């Protein structure tokens, strides 16, 4: 009974918050904070589930929902990233309303949609059925479409259109893969009620027809990879992430990509058992290197700092895919650690960039010079989060990248790791140069450089949340102690043993 | 048995040729009459094309300066190919002595041979219109031939043979096959290319001499007298053969396919009559359609023909997928 | 229903399903494209109904018939109506597509062959009449992607997306008589919502750009 409640609460709490927005609207003192409260509740449930699911998976709601260590871990990631993002939301919206970009109705819609978005992500990681997982992932696209187009400008409309069309079409491929997997499962005598249950599929994987499964897995990786920002269908990501309001960008970049990749991980478990490790390894390594190359090439000439962050997300998803391609238990725990570390650092970076955008009125690197002198707190947070994203110690991403590369060399994928390292060097150089130009130097008002807007202080709640997230990210780099057992169990689920 | 069958087959094939030769100008007459009535005119009567041919045949044969043997031979080649095609296509019988040659490739090649001869003749005149007509005709031909091959090929997959007689026979034995997607797709594709090949609206307009639009008429502009009569007559026969092919591939009922010579000969008059009715109905429908349709602009024609090609290809694909 | 009739009806429904997709490539009139999409929805529903009758009217067959009715309502009535509403007051014709009509028809033929090659393992696993028709459904999926990539009007892109979806649904029913009911419901709801979202975005696009030509959407680029 308690497990069922624990499984339903992560989906239910955000939906309750959404209902509060629907009924009472967006009230700065009260309902504006309901989302953050729901996120805190979600995180608490995630921790409780993690404790409960470490020894064995828990199911609920007639077998529709299931939490094993991996789902619980992903839920922790969702909670940990959603909390700072939603804590920063009220301050962000207040500034948007003060600047006249957002009406009361827009704010209410923003509240409803962000909460259903979080609920859909929670459902995705808790679903026991690949079909329900697919429905939840597609639901995130629908929820976020209007959030991307929130400002209703030409740019926002364009970004929203591309986002919906490319993601829906890409994810349709994944559904085709699910249909074919269902077909293969029926022929492997999996009972029709459990034919899409990932645990059942993994159990019967050796009986699946290899040729059909191969087609299905390729489609699933390509389809969910679209949503995870992986090449070749990554074109929507920079547009959508740069046009969405900052807290939504933080959620989309920080967790939505990882939730989509979680689906790839579930598929990988089935595929490794059915087809052997080499198939998914080759597929994922190819996708990872192409994504890294695309990100590196486009980061060099980037002039827009929100787009820079978006391309950095593609780069990190490429790294995560590379780690998954390596697939040993060490690589798997490094991948999971990277997902959490990237989520925290990227959400801080996007939230800080949202504040920079409000302060300078521009998203161009040229328009935001000498930030250290102008908005020291925000600039400090932005710089620190980018240092984390570039993989500097002491942040968690340093540890996870190190782990991935070590595992890659041990697993005999030295060529892929070497290529990735080379591409990362380009990324580091490009991002560091752009960030340096934004943060350092004197502010020279001139063409393209915007003046500071009136009230430029970062709201106190947001500042606290961002600092806490960065501290957590740094702590992960020192020790993953509280998560140790959970990480090991989750990594054992996805780690292949060749 | 085989001896008497082949005698019967020869008689039937001869009857086919005579029917097509004599009836095709009448078909053109019927189509003109239908069109005239629908447009509110009295019309010249069904026999008018025969009267035209008689008038042309009485005239003196003249050829333009500088033209060579190609120009003079083309009408003969065109007529000969049309007559041979009329003999081997299963019109009234599937037991023609030329049955071995009644292969879909042979028929397509025969019809193409006639078209090419005419195009060469048009080039031989060295006039602007002749060259233009020849180039347009070749464009259309290049798009039409693959489609005819594809669609008849699609029909030949279920029958297991590319022999036209065998395809018609197998449809007779399994009538429900007509309603399959293979057959429907092939029918649509074939109908489009027949219209194109016969030079009817919306691809070409046989009643116009407007330089911007004409295709077939531009090629035969320099012909006069008996040569022109031959060309007109052969064109009518080609139209009849093509319509007959479509009719019998998709609705073969009434064709004489009896096992014994006597029964086959007895069924012959009925088969000829049924064929005449089928072709007249198809021709009438075509003419009625032309009244309500405008000619496509030249650059839209490839789209139409590409569409029919896709349908033919899908028909082939479907005959393999769904079989 | 005898086996021969079953196969005939199944093939006919598949043929109509495919033909509608090919004709979408051929027509430029947006209203005609929406009409073709409605016809395709009806063909899909008929396909499901044929499968349902074949399975027998007790148990799963009845469920399939109900699903077929639901599909008919959604894909032959509701979605076309939504699309038609998006046309009103806007552009009525496709502009010149990236790949001209004749070439795209030939590409469609190539896609049919590609889908035949891709689905060979599927057909090999269970060569029943329904599974043999899977290449047809996959061809529709590929044609949908092709429309999505090459057409320049917002509405034609939506139709392309819906063709993809119709094709995938057809694959689902042809292979295993459909995915679990809850998934089917979720998918239908998602598709409906996605079309609603796209319809609203089309209206916004018209307000922001003064038209729905997707060539205007090129301000965000690197």
**Mean pLDDT across B14-24:** 92
In a domain, C184, yes or no: yes
- Contact status of C36 with chain B (Cβ, < 8 Å): no
For chain A, what's the residue count?
A: 498
Asked whether A and C share 3 or more beta-carbon pairs under 8 angstroms, the answer is yes
Using CA atoms, how far apart are residues A458 and C165, in angstroms rounded to an integer? 45
Q: Give the per-residue SS3 of chain A.
A: CHHHHHHHHHHHHHHHHHHHHHHHCCCCCCHHHHHHHHHHHHHHHHHHHHHHHCCCCEEECCCCEEECHHHHHHHHHHHHHHHHHHHHHHHHHHHHHHCCCCCHHHHHHHHHHHHHHHHHHHHHHHECEHHHHHHHHHHHHHHHHHHHCCCCCHHHHHHHHHHHHHHHHHHHHHHHHHHHHHHHHHHCCCCHHHCCEHHHHHHCHHHCCHHHHHHHHHHHHHHHHHHCCCCCCCCHHHHHHHHCCHHHHHHHHHHHHHHHHHHHHHHHHHHHHHHCHHHHHHHHHHHHHHHHHHHHHHHHCCCEHHHHHHHHHHHHHHHHHHHHHHCCHHHHHHHHHHHHHHHHHHHHHHHHHHHHHHHHCCCECCCCCCHHHHCHHHHHHHHHHHHHHCCCCCCHHHHHHHHHHHHHHHCCCHHHHHHHHHHHHHHHHHHHHHHHHHHCCCCCCCCCCCCCCCCCCCCHHHHHHHHHHHHHHHHHHHCCHHHHHHHHHHHHHHCCCC
Interface test with C, best of B144, B147, B303, B319 (most C CBs within 10 A): B303
* Partner-chain residue, chosen from C175, C198, C217, that has the shortest CB–CB distance to A164: C198
- The yes-or-no verdict on residue C40 having pLDDT over 70 is yes
Token representation of residue B168: 């018609």
Mutate to test the interface with C, among A130, A139, A152, A172 (most CBs of C within 10 A): A172
Which pLDDT does position C1 carry in this prediction? Answer: 66
Nearest to B256 by CA among B84, B90, B24: B90
Closest-CA residue of A relative to C196 is A142
Convert the pLDDT of each residue in C148-158 to its tens digit.
Answer: 989 888 888 89
- Tell me whether C109 touches chain B (CB under 8 Å): yes
Chains that touch A (3 or more CB pairs under 8 A): C
Alpha carbon distance C86, C204 (integer Å): 11
Query: Which is it for the CA torsion B277, B282, B286, B289, positive or negative?
Result: positive
CB neighbours of A409 closer than 8 A, spacing ≥ 6? Answer: A417
Single out the residue of A4, A35, A57 nearest to residue A108, CA to CA.
A35
> Between chains, do B307 and C106 touch, taking CB under 8 Å as contact?
no
Contact A168 C161 (CB under 8 A): yes
Look at residue B276 and tell me whether its pLDDT is greater than 80.
Answer: yes
Indicate if the pLDDT at residue B1 is higher than 50: no
Distance CA A335, CA A317 (A): 10
pLDDT at A448: 47
Judged by CB atoms closer than 8 Å, whether chains meet at C198 and A165 is answered as yes
C101 touches chain B (CB under 8 A): yes
- Considering the domain boundaries, does residue C218 fall inside one? no
Shortest distance between the Cα of C132 and any Cα of chain B, in A, equals 6
CB A410 within 8 A of CB A496: no
Q: Do C220 and A168 touch (CB under 8 A)?
A: no
ipTM: 0.94
Q: What are phi and psi for residue A448, nearest 5 degrees?
A: 90, -20
Categorize the per-residue pLDDT at A455 as very low, low, confident or very high, splitting at 50, 70 and 90.
low
Question: Domain extents for chain A?
Answer: 2-494
What is the share, in percent, of chain A residues with pLDDT greater than 90?
A: 71
Q: Which residues of B touch C143 (CB under 8 A)?
A: none
Chain A residues with beta carbon closer than 8 angstroms to that of C200: 146
Residue C91's pLDDT band (boundaries 50, 70, 90)? low
pLDDT, tens only, A331-371: 999 999 999 999 999 999 999 999 998 888 888 888 888 88
Does the pLDDT at position B257 exceed 80? no
A127 band by pLDDT with thresholds 50, 70 and 90: very high
The interaxial angle of helices C154-176 and C3-26, nearest 10 deg, is: 160
The mean per-residue pLDDT over the stretch A180-196 comes to 87
Domain containing residue C127:
3-213
Enumerate the residues of chain C whose CB falls inside 8 A of the CB of residue A179.
Answer: 168, 171-172, 175-176, 179
**Which of B176, B181, B306 is opposite residue C14, by nearest beta carbon?**
B181
The confidence band for A453, taking pLDDT boundaries of 50, 70 and 90, is low
Contact A13, A42 (CB under 8 A): yes
Residue C221 lies in a domain: no
* Averaged pLDDT, C160-171: 94
Which residues in chain A touch residue C190, judged by CB atoms under 8 angstroms apart? 135, 138-139, 142
Average pLDDT of the segment spanning C87-99? 72
Q: How confident is the model at residue A464 (pLDDT cuts 50, 70, 90)?
A: very high
C220 assigned to some structural domain:
no
DSSP state of C93: B
A176: nearest CA in chain C?
C168
Give the count of Cβ contacts less than 8 A between chain B and C.
Answer: 76
Q: What is the rounded CA–CA span in Å between residue A5 and residue A60?
A: 8
Q: Residue B198 gets which letter from DSSP?
A: T
Nearest CA in chain C to B186: C15
Kindly determine whether residue A186 and residue C171, on different chains, have CB atoms separated by under 8 Å: no
Which pLDDT does position A46 carry in this prediction?
Answer: 94
* Residue C90 pLDDT: 65
Query: Which segment of A273-282, B89-98, C35-44 scores lowest on mean pLDDT?
Result: B89-98
Count how many domains chain C has. Answer: 1
Helices (H) then strands (E): counts for chain B: 11, 0
């Amino acid at each position: 009974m308690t497990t069922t409640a624990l499984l339903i609460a992560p989906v239910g709490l955000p939906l309750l918050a959404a209902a509060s927005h629907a009924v009472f609207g967006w009230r700065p003192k009260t309902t504006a904070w309901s989302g953050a409260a729901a996120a805190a509740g979600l995180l608490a449930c995630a921790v409780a589930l993690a404790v409960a699911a470490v020894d064995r998976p828990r199911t609920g709601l007639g077998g529709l929902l299931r939490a094993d260590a991996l789902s619980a871990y992903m839920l922790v990631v969702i909670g940990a990233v959603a909390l700072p993002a939603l804590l920063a939301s009220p301050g962000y919206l207040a500034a948007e309303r003060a600047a006249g970009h957002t009406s009361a109705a827009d704010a209410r819609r923003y509240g409803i949609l962000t909460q259903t978005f979080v609920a859909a992500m929670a459902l995705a990681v808790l679903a026991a059925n690949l079909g329900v997982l697919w429905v939840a992932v597609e639901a995130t696209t629908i929820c976020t479409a209007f959030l991307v187009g929130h400002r209703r400008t030409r740019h926002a409309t364009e970004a929203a259109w591309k986002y919906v069309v490319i993601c829906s079409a890409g994810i349709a491929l994944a559904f085709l893969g699910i249909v074919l997997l269902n077909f293969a499962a029926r022929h492997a005598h999996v009972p029709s009620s459990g034919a899409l249950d990932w645990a059942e599929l993994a159990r019967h994987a050796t009986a699946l027809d290899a040729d059909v499964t191969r087609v299905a897995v390729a489609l699933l990786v390509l389809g969910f990879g679209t949503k995870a920002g992986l090449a070749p269908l990554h074109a929507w990501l920079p547009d959508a992430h740069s046009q969405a309001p900052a807290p939504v960008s933080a959620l989309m970049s920080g967790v939505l990509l990882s939730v989509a990749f979680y689906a790839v991980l579930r598929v990988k478990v089935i595929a490794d058992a059915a087809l052997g490790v080499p198939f998914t390894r080759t597929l994922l390594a190819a996708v990872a290197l192409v994504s890294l190359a695309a990100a590196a090439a486009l980061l060099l000439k980037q002039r827009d700092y929100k787009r820079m962050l978006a391309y950095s997300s593609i780069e990190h998803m490429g790294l995560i895919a590379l780690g998954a391609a390596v697939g040993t238990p060490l690589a798997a725990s490094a991948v999971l650690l990277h997902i959490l570390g990237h989520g925290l650092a990227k959400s801080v970076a996007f939230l800080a960039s949202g504040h920079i955008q409000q302060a300078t009125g521009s998203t161009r690197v040229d328009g935001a010079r000498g930030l250290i002198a102008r908005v020291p707190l925000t600039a400090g947070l932005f710089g620190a989060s980018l240092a984390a994203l570039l993989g500097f110690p002491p942040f968690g991403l340093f540890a996870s990248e190190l782990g991935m590369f070590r595992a890659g060399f041990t697993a005999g994928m030295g060529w892929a790791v070497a290529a990735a390292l080379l591409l990362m060097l380009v990324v580091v150089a490009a991002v560091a140069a752009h960030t340096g130009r934004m943060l350092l130097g004197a502010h020279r008002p001139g063409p393209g450089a915007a003046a500071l807007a009136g009230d430029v202080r970062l709201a106190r709640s947001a500042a606290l949340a961002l600092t806490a997230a960065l501290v957590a990210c740094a702590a992960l780099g020192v020790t993953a102690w509280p998560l140790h057992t959970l990480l090991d169990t989750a990594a054992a689920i996805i780690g292949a043993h060749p | 048995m085989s001896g008497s069958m082949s005698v019967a087959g020869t008689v039937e094939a001869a009857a086919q040729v005579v029917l097509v030769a004599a009836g095709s100008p009448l078909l053109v007459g019927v189509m003109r009459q239908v069109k005239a009535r629908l447009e509110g005119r009295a019309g010249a009567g069904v026999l008018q094309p025969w009267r035209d041919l008689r008038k042309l045949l009485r005239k003196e044969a003249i050829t333009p300066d500088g033209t060579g043997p190609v120009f003079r031979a083309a009408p003969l080649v065109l007529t000969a190919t049309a007559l041979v095609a009329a003999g081997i296509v299963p019109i009234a019988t599937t037991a023609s002595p030329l049955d071995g040659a009644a292969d879909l490739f042979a028929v397509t090649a025969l019809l193409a041979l006639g078209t090419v001869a005419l195009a060469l003749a048009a080039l031989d005149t060295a006039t602007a219109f002749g060259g233009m007509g020849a180039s347009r005709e070749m464009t259309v031909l290049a798009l039409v031939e693959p489609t005819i091959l594809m669609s008849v090929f699609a029909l030949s997959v279920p029958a297991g043979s590319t022999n036209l007689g065998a395809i018609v026979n197998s449809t007779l034995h399994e009538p429900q096959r007509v309603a399959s997607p293979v057959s429907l797709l092939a029918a649509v594709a074939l109908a489009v290319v027949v219209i194109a090949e016969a030079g009817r609206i919306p691809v070409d307009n046989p009643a116009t001499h407007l330089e911007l639009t004409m295709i077939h008429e531009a090629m035969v502009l320099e012909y006069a007298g008996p040569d022109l009569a031959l060309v007109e007559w052969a064109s009518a026969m080609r139209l009849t053969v093509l319509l007959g092919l479509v009719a019998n591939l998709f609705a073969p009922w009434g064709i004489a396919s009896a096992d014994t010579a006597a029964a086959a000969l007895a069924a012959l008059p009925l088969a000829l009559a049924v064929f005449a009715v089928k072709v007249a109905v198809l021709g009438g429908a075509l003419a009625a359609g032309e009244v309500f349709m405008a000619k496509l602009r030249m650059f839209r024609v490839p789209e139409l023909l590409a569409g029919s090609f896709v349908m033919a290809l899908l028909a082939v694909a479907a005959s393999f997928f769904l079989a | 229903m005898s086996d021969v009739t079953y196969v005939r009806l199944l093939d006919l429904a598949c043929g109509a399903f495919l033909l509608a997709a090919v004709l979408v490539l051929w027509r430029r009139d947006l209203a005609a494209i929406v009409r073709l999409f409605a016809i395709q929805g009806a063909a899909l529903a008929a396909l499901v109904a044929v499968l349902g009758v074949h399975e027998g009217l007790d148990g799963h067959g009845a469920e399939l018939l109900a699903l077929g009715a639901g599909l008919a309502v959604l894909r032959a009535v509701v979605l076309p109506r939504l699309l038609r509403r998006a046309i009103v007051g806007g552009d009525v014709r496709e502009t010149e597509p990236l790949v001209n009509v004749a070439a795209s028809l030939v590409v469609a033929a190539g896609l049919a062959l590609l889908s035949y090659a891709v689905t060979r393992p599927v057909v090999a696993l269970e060569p029943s009449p329904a599974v043999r028709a899977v290449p047809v459904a996959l061809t529709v999926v590929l044609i949908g992607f092709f429309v999505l990539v090459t057409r320049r009007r917002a509405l034609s892109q939506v139709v392309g997306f819906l063709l993809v979806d119709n094709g995938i649904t057809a694959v689902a029913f042809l292979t295993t008589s459909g995915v679990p009911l809850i998934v089917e419901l979720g998918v239908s709801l998602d598709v409906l919502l996605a079309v609603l979202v796209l319809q609203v975005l089309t209206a916004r696009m018209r307000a922001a750009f003064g038209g729905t030509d997707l060539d205007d959407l090129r301000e965000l680029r690197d």
